[in-house]
Structure 1
């Protein structure tokens, strides 16, 4: 992917640099210092990295996760980066894949603040278990939708009701992925939830203009977190091959880009090369962060993405024989090389 896009990127580098510098004079700035930030999935990975970053900037932070032991370890890490003894740092163990769980978690999180809703809600809980579609079951399909969509949608619903009821301004930050823009073999159960989050965020961005509630949604690519190892345990070989040229980042690195986008007031947040190309090429009617910069990203996508798609399609077709051998080893019935 990168080899295809390098020439176009090089020709637009000067325009991009100039536009970014100019954008600094007009960008918004949100300061988390003194704000109450609620981070779901805050016990590990991107959630923990974001929680630590917020604490280091003076925020009061509440983290929620299902794993009590991980939460205990996470709290120790948060304590090491606090900037003031007056910062309130708390953890809570809840399962957020149901409306009841999301409501109970927010009840607990708001209680130390006299019931007041958090100023910013970073919804970073979730997991990915890629497989070929024909390997999915009713259980795994439901699980992936719970972990990609409902684990955020229920929290957003409960939090927004409280914000509107109390007439309090705030921020709701969704967490999607590259797959929220594009599709790849292996993500048939994972991708729909990530794309559904984009549809939800796009809708709420407009609807919440009625209430002065800011909506953001992030689209990260590969992140080297504990969840990445779990993801790769079920990821098809062809998916790994397609993704092998894409550089990954750590949770700490992406957390900085995520928070920077929130502070600037960006709606779709994609703080890396490929993410920006996908965002600018496929954002539909979502607002542009910088018209000149996004026009450049869009041009690069217009040139490079069709070539990338053809390359990926060719790679998938070339995997057919190995895929047939894999399905045979898994016990699928065959008749002359075709599914019976």
Structure 2
């Protein structure tokens, strides 16, 4: 056999091997049926503003029965009015419930109340959008603020996820539980010592439940958004350290509506880790561990390669900015009487 024929056979074999591997990787994802919320009961925590409200409106437009839960009754009623304005048909059940969700008992009461108009049936999808961030330097924190940081991020999601999963299993409901973490669930940043740990914890819970709830045919998803321009974001900016604001200057961010679309598209496609921006895709593919690939495996591999180089350079630049801020930070600490005079 000539060298030319040998090369041709070797090349053909390599192409067939690569093609087969690609088909094996992509086929289970590309054949998934797309989720449709029409006629399904969707339960949304944090549904009176920001991402929760934007998502509730999107689901309402697509024909879902929507229950929103939040603490402020006045804001809930305003939100419910907006849902009514976007109903797709007169048969949709749209309800609002005022609960704090800060304990297992409260989370259970909220979920049970939302089931009543549906004949006691468990929601088909539970979206855990409630959460809050209060930025600040770690050395300024107290035991109370540290605990509150976990309460406002991790526990708000964990309690509702627990009561929802128990009810789904008990009623044999093959539903969905959708967590909302943050891009700060992939890495840490100055000023988020009370927030980022909770978002990492949500990721850990979602990773565990994704596998465990396979026992009951319950799907788990987690959305990892970048900065979202919400009322909560405006509030946190009022107390955010100057250094943190500077590091976030290049972060374009998303509107609540755009983020809701990204979350919805990810759930519809059956993705586990849902990311909808270039930077979030870089972090996802470089920190995914054994998590499933997204809906486009080859695209994920490309993001992974770019991120290996790009994120290393990005981190080096961020660390340099932090070091260069030492003098200004010392002056800040002195003004707060935290740093002893020399």
Common fold by TM > 0.5: yes
Which residue number corresponds to residue 331 of structure 1?
337
CA distance in 2, matches of 1:84, 1:333: 62
1:210 lines up with 2:215 in the alignment: yes
Contact 2:334/2:341 (CA < 8 Å) preserved in 1? no
Which residue number corresponds to residue 243 of structure 2?
238
1:126 lines up with 2:131 in the alignment: yes
- Map 1:314-325 to 2 at 5 A: 314-325=320-331
The structure with the larger Rg is 2
Question: 1:113: how far off?
Answer: 1.4
* Residues 252-294 of structure 1 deviation map (CA, whole Å, 9 limit, x = unaligned): 0110010000000000001111111100000111100122111
Helix, strand or coil at the partner of 1:158: helix
- Picking from 108, 115, 121, the partner of 1:110 is 115
Which residue number corresponds to residue 61 of structure 1?
66
CA distance in 2, matches of 1:25, 1:183: 33
Question: 1:28: how far off?
Answer: 3.5
Work out the number of aligned pairs and report it: 316
* Residues 68-87 of structure 1 deviation map (CA, whole Å, 9 limit, x = unaligned): 00001001111111011110
TM superposition score normalised by structure 1:
0.91
Which residue number corresponds to residue 312 of structure 1?
318
- Which region of structure 1 is more displaced relative to structure 2, 32-41 or 231-240? 231-240
Question: 1:26: how far off?
Answer: 4.0
Which residue number corresponds to residue 287 of structure 2?
282
Provide closer, same or farther for how the CA distance between residues 110 and 148 of structure 1 changes in structure 2, counting only shifts above 3 A.
Answer: same
TM superposition score normalised by structure 2:
0.90
**Structure 2: tracts of 5 or more residues without a match:** 1-22
Helix, strand or coil at the partner of 1:331: coil
Question: 1:145: how far off?
Answer: 0.3
1:251 lines up with 2:250 in the alignment: no
- Picking from 299, 304, 317, the partner of 1:298 is 304
CA distance in 1, matches of 2:241, 2:302: 34
CA distance in 2, matches of 1:102, 1:308: 40
**Structure 1: tracts of 5 or more residues without a match:** 1-18
Greater RCO, 1 or 2 (C-alpha within 8 Å, sep 6+): 1
Contact 2:133/2:149 (CA < 8 Å) preserved in 1? yes
1:169 lines up with 2:174 in the alignment: yes
